[in-house]
Every structure is written in structure tokens, then in C-alpha cells.
Structure 1
Amino acid sequence: MKKVLLLSTGGTIASIKTEKGLTPGRFSRELLEYIPQVKYFAEVTAKDLLNIDSSNMQPEDWLEIAKEIVRNYNDYDGFVITHGTDTMEYTSSALTYLLKNLSKPVVLTGSQKSIEEPLGDANRNLIDAVRFACEDISGVFVAFCGKIINGPRAKKINSKSYDAFDSINYPVVASVKENYVCYHERACQDFEPSLSSYNGQVYCEDQIVPDVNLLKLVPGLDPGLIKEISKHCRGMVIESFGLGGLSDRKRNMFDALENALNRGIYIAITTQVLREGIELGTYALGDKVTNLKVISGKDMTPSALVVKMMWALAKNQNFEELKKVIHTPIQKDIY
């Protein structure tokens, strides 16, 4: 029987009702009491790391979660992290980049309803996460509403519905149906154990640079905002229009970007559009962006791009090196 470590960080799944609304208040051992059936296919040990609303999750917390996995790595076959849904996609991306030589599954899950809700989604999600943590596969994943999603490709798309997450620009890795894990054909190739197992001891990179901001463009945005934001960060991700368009009429974004670049700020460009990514050379305005010293986010999710820049900045101070690291695929996070 596989051994699984359950690490609780709070979130809706562990929340209780108070006069001021839901707040995390349940411990990991209590979560396990709601899913007694897992004892038939896994030996689960529970441990509390945090008990917070995931809106309070910080980059320093990602490091602590990663370190806890490394500390317990040799004693377990897989890991489940219960987490709030609001920032789960950031944490799943961060663990993808921080954990090195990973040869076991790390599965994040949560819920849209507290585990005490009798008709909620928490029980199913937690059972599915434990089940997938028993699989012979390596990587970081999100288990939600019967889907297993590649960690850096996860995106919260619904604020209330149980089907809260989807996989962006990459197929769902697997589905959990009637206690069976059914893999997507593409995932069988990309995540086959023989291809995803590494030689060497697992370890956690111990630095991350949180000074990366995300700016979403809107028509009429004052370019001066880019200048002000650049005073408070080392990196910036800009959600552009469509395939990578920026305004150069009336409110000229290009001058503001050049100013930020000249101040030593690293800038990556992505799109506000949910799927299919950017292609900067398609339109004249996008082609104009290629003349700047910026990094294309290609088909990455904005959240994964932000986190990858935070991780990459901790080890790279040169534009070309940073660009190379961001464009190097890690667990199929970019094409």
C-alpha cells in the first residue's frame, strides 16, 4: 500500500463558518476523518503547515511547502497539498520550478465548498488527489472535479462552480472516474514514469524573487503607470491585447516600456486571452514589440509566467540568460 503525506495549508476546504464569513479553521487530521475510504488504497499521514486563506499565500510560503516535501521525501510515495483555490495555480507553478529531481507525484487540491458541506466537492477532490498521489508518475499536479491538471497549466476559470479549474494550452493529464485513473494519450507520452524519473537526490531551490508585478492593459491606460510600477519591482509581466498588441497611439506604451527597460527592469509579454498564447510577429504592433528587449510568454499562463520569472530572477541577472531559462520547458509549461 502506498504511503501519502497530506500537507494542509488552509483554504475553503478547511474552512468553518463564522459571523464574518468562512475562515480556515480545520486541521489536516479532521480532513482525513471525512474520507475514511482512502484507507483501503493508501496509508495517509496528515500534517498542518499553514491554516490560511490562500489570498494570504506568499512566495516565502511556497519555499516552506517545497522544503517540507523534501524533508519527508524518502518516507512517502506521494504528496497531497490542500490549498485554497484563489492562488492554487501560483503555488502549483512555484512547486514545479522549485522542486528538482522530482520522481514522485505532488498533488494540490481544494474545494469550492467546505469539507463539512454534505453535498460539496471537497470529499471527491481530496479522495481523487490521494488516489493520484499513489500513481507511478512524477510532477506537480492539480486535482479538481475529476480532472488531473498539469501544475503550471492550471487556471481557475470559475469562481463558484465545482468545475473551477481547467488546463490551459495543454490537455488534461488524466481523469478520475469510478476509482480509476484514465490518462490522456498525450500525457502517457509526456509523463511516462521512465521519461519523468530523474537520477540524483531531490532538492528544493531555496531562493525566489517576489518583486515581479503583473499589469493588465486596458484601453486608455496611462503609460505613466508602467513607470510607477517599475519603481517597485525587478520584473514585470504585461497582459497585452490579443496576440501581443500594445498601443502606440495617443497613450504610447512603447516609450514607457523602453524607459522601464533602460532602468534595468525585465519585462515579459503575455496575452489577456485565455487560450492559444501570443505570436508577436503576426500584426505590425506586435512586431514592433519584438524590437524591444522583452521576453515573449508564448503560450504560458500569466500566473505560471509570473512565478517562473520570480524563480528565474533568483539565479539570472542577464537578459539573454533569463530569456533562455523562461523559454526552456519545465513539465510542459511552455511550447
Structure 2
Amino acid sequence: MSKTSAQIYVLYTGGTIGMDGRPLAPMPASRLQRLLETMPGFDSSTLTLHPLDDRELRINYVLDAFDEPIDSSAMTPNDWVMIARRILDRYADYDGFVVLHGTDTMAWTTSALAFLLEGLAKPVIVTGSQVPLAQTRTDALRNLVTAMQLAATSGVPEVGLFFDVALYRGCRAAKVSTSAFEGFASPNYPPLATAGITIDVSESLVRLPPPIESSMQRPEHRARVAARLEAIEQALPRFSVLSLVLYPGIQTSNAIEVLLDATEPPVRGLVLQAFGEGNAPSTPSFLEALRRAHDRGVVIVDGTQVVQGSVNVDAYQSASGLEQAGAISGYDMTPEAAQAKLVYLLGLGLSQQEVEVLMQRNLRGELRAESGPTRGLVFAEH
């Protein structure tokens, strides 16, 4: 029997996977570690797997944790930066990374990490569960073990979200069920891998590794990413990014003005979850409110609340009105990806015009746009 081994870093942030009690609450990392050691194949530092190809896979792991594990509904952009920094600081020492996270905001975190970890060349797999690991009938063990195997062996140079049987691109995933084990989906992009008896990676769907000059394999580039994380962390208290779901009968001009005037810190980004292909009420007062917001420096993204499909600002007059008011197309980005991307770009200190250009470019596989993909984009001046 042949043997292979890998080193991975597991970060426990909280979430259902590590909860117990009534009502459910996060358990401390020390208790999660002891629980893991009772699971098949685990000891205090190693997961041993025996795939069907007659080889032993030995995954050496380190379990780290937030000082206080949290429910993901309490996750903030500052926590996104903290997770990214934990990975960056340990990047050279491990073959892959696993983040244990609650399901409620997992799609926001995976989207944010995809942007924050610019030049990623190793797998970062985020997972969780619908049922705690401490319970007998749970999806947690399968999700955790498969995520660890993907981090150790897949070589996928992306942030991925693994759940049930599928590895999704992190900035394409969305939560679709509160009760089914298949709790996530990727409406506008196929899974990067599927896990049955074997794990099959769809290589043609995976992004290429970054060019060496902008790869996190290089210490110089990791230093640049660290500086950007620091800049973003310092910028976060100075701006807000909002999301507004449109609905029939909404008093749209009032809603826009109240949101902008009442929110502190000042609003710099607004994601509209519009109807259909990006349509919205064409009332003059609504469009004028958006125009005034845009003139104040707010980046307005015309997105869709429809689960599958893309914005098409040329299809209906009600969408073209948004464009004339200053809104840009969100194409087929999920609302989670659009909001996380806005936070990332605004946190870099870019101008309104720069953010609007980059929001419409494919930076991490988060959208399909006519402008085509932008690989290895480096913000050398920020």
C-alpha cells in the first residue's frame, strides 16, 4: 500500500458544525478537538483515509480557532479580514486550508475571501453543516472530511465552498435550503468538483493558477496582500455598503433617501436586488434619488433577486433607466458576491470610477461579462 501525506490548516470560526446544547450554541475549540478525536480516522493531529485505489492518505492538520467562536449571523467584514489574515500568515507552511463556518453567512465569507486572497495558488475550502458534529445523524463529518481531503489533494487554486457532494466556487455559491443537506447551490456556474465514492474535479472549470509575479507563492506578493488587508481593515469603519431588495409598491425614492441619510458610516456602495433582468420602477422620483446618490459618490450595482440568470440593462426600458441614473450592471453575480466585492474594492481606497470599472470585470470568476476575464489583476498603487 502506497502512502501520501499533506499538511493542512483548519480554522474553526463557529457555526452549526461546532454547536451543541439546547438552544444550540458554539462549543469552544478545545471541546471540538476532543470530539474530533473520537471520529473514525482522526487523532489529535492526523486524519487517515483509505481511498479505494489502495493507498493511504495521511492528512496532518492543525486546528486553530477564533478566540470566541461565533454564530455566523454575527459575522462582519472585519471577520472576513481576520480569516484572510490567518490564512495569509500561515500560507507558506501548509498545502491547503479549511475554514469551518456557519451556513447563514457562509456565501458572503467565501465571496469576500476570494477577493481578499488575491493571487491564491492553494485550496481554501470553506464548509459547515446543517446538523452539529456532536449529533448522531449529521452531515458534519462527511462535509469536514471531504473538505480536508479537497484541501490536501485537489490543488484547486481558489476559495471553494464544499457542501454535501459539491465543491462550488466560493464567489458563485448561495444558500438555498435551511433544512436539506444540500444546503447550497451555484445557480450560474457548475460545481468545480463532485464527491461520490471518488472525488472528481472538473479541471476545465477551475481557474488557472496566478502568474508567478502575482502569486501568493512569492513572499513579496504575500507582503503586498498583507498591506492591503491592513488598509482594508482601517478603511472599514469609514464606509457602508447596503443592499436593497425591491418589491411591488416600494416607496422607492423615500427608501433610497432614508437609507443614505440614516446610515453611518456614510454609504459608498449600494446593491439593488432588482426584478428580472435588472428592472426597477421607472418613476422619475426614484431615478432622481439614484442619480443624486450617484452624484454623491455612491457606487450603485444593478443586480437581480432572481436566483438564476443575468442582468441585461438593454432588454427593458425599466433597466435602462437605472443605467442612465448611474447604476452599473451586476451581470450574473450573486447578491453576496456583489456586496463582498464592493466592500473589497472600496476598502482599497479606489475612486468611484475605478470601483465601477472593476465591479464589471471578472476578477475571481464571480461573473460573466462582455469585457471578459481579468486574470492576475494587481492593484500595485494601493
Question: How high is the TM-score relative to the length of structure 1?
Answer: 0.92
Calculate the aligned-residue CA RMSD, in Å.
2.0
Tell me how far apart the structure 1 counterparts of residues 209 and 114 of structure 2 sit (CA, whole Å): 16
Partner of 1:65: 83
Contact 1:142 1:148 in 2 (8 A): yes
Q: Secondary structure at the match of 1:170?
A: coil
Q: Structure 1 331/74 Cα, relative in aligned 2: closer, same or farther at 3 Å? A: same
Tell me how far apart the structure 2 counterparts of residues 218 and 194 of structure 1 sit (CA, whole Å): 41
Q: Secondary structure at the match of 1:152?
A: helix
Partner of 2:314: 281
Deviations 1:107-152 (A, max 9, x none): 0000000101111100010011001001222110011001100010
Tell me how far apart the structure 2 counterparts of residues 142 and 68 of structure 1 sit (CA, whole Å): 18
Superposed, 1:54-203 pairs within 5 Å as 54-134=72-152, 135-178=154-197, 180-184=198-202, 186-187=204-205, 190-192=206-208, 198=215, 200-201=218-219, 202=222, 203=225
Structure 2: 5+ residue stretches without partners: 42-46, 50-56, 369-382
Q: Structure 1 15/272 Cα, relative in aligned 2: closer, same or farther at 3 Å? A: same
Partner of 1:324: 357
Contact 1:242 1:273 in 2 (8 A): yes
Tell me how far apart the structure 1 counterparts of residues 176 and 77 of structure 2 sit (CA, whole Å): 22
Of 67, 71, 88, the residue aligned with 1:53 is 71
Partner of 2:249: 220
Indicate the larger mover: 25-34 or 236-245. 25-34
Partner of 2:52: none
Q: Structure 1 26/115 Cα, relative in aligned 2: closer, same or farther at 3 Å? A: farther
Tell me how far apart the structure 1 counterparts of residues 36 and 187 of structure 2 sit (CA, whole Å): 31
Shift in Å at residue 331 of structure 1? 2.4
Report the number of matched residues. Answer: 329
Tell me how far apart the structure 2 counterparts of residues 168 and 195 of structure 1 sit (CA, whole Å): 29
Tell me how far apart the structure 1 counterparts of residues 40 and 209 of structure 2 sit (CA, whole Å): 29
Tell me how far apart the structure 1 counterparts of residues 173 and 92 of structure 2 sit (CA, whole Å): 27
Q: Secondary structure at the match of 2:48?
A: helix
Partner of 2:280: 246
Partner of 1:211: 240
Contact 1:11 1:84 in 2 (8 A): yes
Shift in Å at residue 293 of structure 1? 1.6
Contact 1:4 1:77 in 2 (8 A): yes
Tell me how far apart the structure 2 counterparts of residues 238 and 194 of structure 1 sit (CA, whole Å): 32
Shift in Å at residue 237 of structure 1? 0.6
